Amino acid sequence: MPLCRSAARRAAGKDAGRSRTRCGASRTRTLPVVMTGRRDVGHVFHTGLLATIPRAIPIPIPYDIEIMALFRKRTKPIKLRSMEQLEELARSGQPLFVDFWQHNNPQCRKMEGIIGELADEFAGDAIVVRADITRVPDVFEKFKVKSTPTFMVVTGSDSSSGVDLKWRAGGLIKKDQLIHQLESAVSKS
């Protein structure tokens, strides 16, 4: 596979003392790139390495695929702002999956991607909510949350508290277990 122009020059012995490429990017190692030999190439930088690619590459798209389905916006968890908002969401009739978290906790940051995937997978069936301890401490006190991350599945109720706790767990939990709890809550509602 041919190298990019500056790497090919170095391999041939020319410009052996140069530390920068033609575009000014520092190079720590060479990257093999297919040369097109055309003038309509653009330069792409990736971690300080230079690669050349054609500016316009036609991509055939089958007509039976909806183009907008490829760029569907993912559903994100709702950021909880108050206890009233939680009670209002519980009255919607759908089960709530609540993630109690802190921004400076590494375990909470690990679970953030999984919670985002749950929100996208259960869009329309359940509501996924994230409660930050710094923004809604009253919710943490109401549910007696002592550590983060803590996960709960709650539903709306007719009692004065407004919500019924169905399931609770803390710490790092596998996605399969979270999906199982949400599916059982959705099937009961």
Domains observed in the chain: 5-54 (no CATH), 74-188 (3.40.30.10)
101 phi/psi in degrees, rounded to 5: -145, 165
- Nearest residue to 19 via CA among 33, 31, 29: 29
d(CA 11, CA 15): 9
Residue 85: pLDDT over 70: yes
87 pLDDT more than 60: yes
The percent of residues in the chain predicted with pLDDT above 70, rounded, is: 60
When pLDDT is averaged across residues 26-54 and rounded to a whole number, the result is 45
Is the entire prediction scored with pTM above 0.95? no
Provide the 8-state DSSP code for 96.
Answer: E
Question: Within 13 A of 172's CA, how many CA atoms are on the CB side?
Answer: 6
Q: Model confidence at 29, in pLDDT bands (50, 70, 90)?
A: very low
